[in-house]
Structure 1
Amino acid sequence: MTERMSGGCACGRVRFTAEVEPAEAYLCHCRMCQRATGSVSIAFVHAQLDSIKWGHEPDWYDSSPIARRPFCRECGTSLGFAFKEGSDKMDLTVAAFDDPSPFKPKHHFGAESIHRAWLNTEGLPEMRTQDYQKLVDKWVDATGEFPG
């Protein structure tokens, strides 16, 4: 089921709304995405170009001869991937949505570059942010409170 959802960058400068299908999200592991994001993979969801409404136009990086990527030049948030020509869709980053919890991955793309050790991390020790006292203290010292 298609839903109109909103999102944006970390600093709030770039905001968007788009029609997306949360069950159609996927993980991209291709080397271009790894390099562009500095991560082992990135979660994307397809959106029709004409359904995307930018509150503030993002900055764009020509990441290859065939593609470009929207981002915020102020905070560096990666917002998506788009072919330069020939597509009526683009991908938006799942984590940029205000509530990414409805998204479920449907498949992996760029499987030739999957870092398998990062796919199943179940069983690794888990630490909650609020349990790392040094970080909590830094937030309280800087802002007077820990973000909730």
Structure 2
Amino acid sequence: MTEPTHTGGCQCGAVRFRVTGVLTDSSICHCRMCQKAFGAYYAPLVSTRGADLVWTRGARKTFRSSNFANRGFCETCGTPLTYEAPDGIAIAAGAFDDPSALPPTVQFGTEGKIDFVDRLHLLPGHTTEEDAEEAPFVLEVVSYQHPDHDTDGDWPKEQTP
């Protein structure tokens, strides 16, 4: 029986990874350090403990955010990639090519949880196309992000304005 394999990387494609093995520890962390590291209300992370993590393209840059943790990110595009602590490496859930395959099972750092987070699902929702009346440029967006699969060749690709 083959073990599951998950791939992913940063938005520009300069850094890519592959994780082979079962990933069961998917979480959301609400602590203030994770909020700042992700520039978001919380950080979705997937532990790679018990699995084999290989960096397949490029190398992450790290920032020592505490006496125990390093935060990995892409030096080219800034995508948050890792939380690295003595108990292992966790990958940013959104950096996986298919983050929907890794739903969170637990929350940490709830003392830092922002109270409105539990009500986000109550907000009105709109598709990108529905936003075109207010922001017509959204219909002409050309993504320069790396596709959600492994690719051959050099990345990031050159961008033309």
Scaled by the length of structure 2, what TM-score is found?
A: 0.77
User: Structure 2 vs 1, CA of residues 23 and 50 (structure 1 numbering), >3 Å: closer, same or farther?
Assistant: closer
Tell me how far 1:137 sits from its aligned partner: 4.1
Tell me how far 1:23 sits from its aligned partner: 4.3
Q: Which moved more, 1:117-126 or 1:129-138?
A: 129-138
In angstroms, what is the RMSD of aligned CA positions? Answer: 2.4
| 3-state secondary structure, aligned to 1:121 | helix
Tell me how far 1:123 sits from its aligned partner: 2.6
Question: Structure 2, unaligned stretches of length 5 or more?
Answer: 145-161
State the partner residue of 2:97: 98
Question: Structure 1, unaligned stretches of length 5 or more?
Answer: 144-148
Kept in 2, the 8 Å contact 1:21–1:45? The answer is no
Q: Calculate percent identity across the aligned residue pairs.
A: 32
Kept in 2, the 8 Å contact 1:49–1:90? The answer is no
Matched letter for residue 98 of structure 2: D
| 3-state secondary structure, aligned to 1:45 | strand
State the partner residue of 2:77: 75
Scaled by the length of structure 1, what TM-score is found?
A: 0.83
State the partner residue of 1:34: 35
Equivalent of 2:64, from 62, 65, 87?
62
User: Structure 2 vs 1, CA of residues 11 and 39 (structure 1 numbering), >3 Å: closer, same or farther?
Assistant: same
Query: Residues 67-104 of structure 1: CA distance to partner in whole angstroms, max 9, x if unpaired?
Result: 10110011110001001xx43x2100100000111112
State the partner residue of 2:117: 118
Kept in 1, the 8 Å contact 2:44–2:94? The answer is yes
